[in-house]
Chain A
Amino acid sequence: MIINSLWGKKVPSKEVAKERLQVVLVYDRAKIEPKLIEQIKEDLVNVVSKYLNFDHENIKVELSNEEIKSILRIDIPLKD
């Protein structure tokens, strides 16, 4: 979550609404169920760890809308 309570201040509910909408619309527009991304992430972890050493916690799989295309971004920071 990007939105966290700062110094105990309550987050305006419209910020929560906006963030939730932005996320859900990315999936709606790409016609992909959010759960699918989780599965892709799990599979990736399994495949990549056969060959490379990396921190499983830091892997990032993110769907985003850019211009007219949906883009799936995968970040796998490798260990030194």
Chain B
Amino acid sequence: MGKAIVITSGKGGVGKTTAVANIGTGLALRGLKIVLVDTDIGLRNLDLLLGLENRIVYNLVDVIEGRCNLKQALVKDKRLNNLFLLPAAQTKEKEAVSIEQMKFLVHELKKDFDYVLIDSPAGIEHGFRTAISGADEAIVITTPEVSSVRDADRVIGLLEANGFENLSLIVNRVRFDMVRNGDMLGVEDLLEILSIELLGIIPEDENLIISVNKGEPIILNADKYRSGLAFSLVVKKLLGEEVSWEELEKSESFIEKIFKFFRG
């Protein structure tokens, strides 16, 4: 039986889908069998981040409403044949999937995959409650801004109330230069405020825009881009390996300078 992990945040646009695409790809690069479930019904994006938007035939709601079976709805990744996507429906209401149905679906997927990564919609309503319902563990993602941290705290409270124990935090869009100048909450501040374990630190990185343009998760270029490296460290940590975050802060200035130099 595999493990199901939900990635959630409360606040919208803080990087849930980006994280799911990259962590999923990173785990698949390690040879594990991975399925990514997009539960953001009506606002699907995970397909775009993976470059799989043209390969979708069926979606999650089709499976639930019996128009196809689970295997038929899974879209195989372009690059890695041990990575799959279960796309959200784009034209349905969030309420199209019930908590019971999601639990059943995730349970079925866990039989075939090492990891089931669930991309949650923003908010704390039905879509969020459905997304977390089948998961064994939860990853909370926040940016270092007060509004996002406050929402993360709310979500942490709700997850705990729902029996989640192993919560961990990804801090996204960190600007080390601003942290150094005292103009951005640092990772230690966030861990202290939220009392939660650290899973990863992702720097602000404009290269992510390029990677989304191409439909190519940036972790595929972990050697070139600091956010790619950062996601590969998340994968390492998730697999229980030793991780040093200093490597990342150093790489920010170092790798970036080199690449900026070569790109002109």
Contact = CB atoms under 8 A, between A and B. Distances in A.
B153 A25 contact: yes
Interface string A21-55: 11011001100000000000000000000000000
Most chain B Cβ neighbours within 10 Å, of A12, A14, A28: A14
A62 to B, nearest CB: 18
Nearest to B178: A14
Contact of B153 (A12, A13, A18, A29): A29
Nearest to A20: B146
B189 A12 contact: no
Interface in B150-208: 150, 153-154, 157, 179, 181-186, 189, 193
Interface residues of A, number: 13
A57 interface: no
Contact of B157 (A15, A18, A29): A29
Give the interface centre of A12, A15, A21, A25 by most chain B CB atoms within 10 Å.
A21
Contacts of A6: none
Contacts of B157: 29
A61 B101 CA distance: 48
Nearest to B181: A12
A21 B186 CA distance: 13
B193 A22 contact: yes
Nearest to A24: B150
B75 interface: no
A12 B185 contact: no
B150 A17 contact: no
Given A14-B189, A20-B146, A22-B193, A28 B182 contact: no
B143 to A, nearest CB: 12
Contacts of A25: 150, 153, 193
B193 A14 contact: no
Contact of A14 (B150, B153, B183): B183
Given A25-B193, A29-B153, A29-B157, A17 B182 contact: no
A14 B154 contact: no
Contacts of A14: 179, 182-186, 189
A25 B137 CA distance: 24
A28 B154 contact: yes
Interface of B: 145-146, 149-150, 153-154, 157, 179, 181-186, 189, 193
Interface of A: 12-15, 17-18, 20-22, 24-25, 28-29
Given A14-B186, A17-B145, A18-B193, 7 more contacts: A12-B183, A14-B179, A14-B183, A17-B146, A20-B146, A24-B150, A25-B193
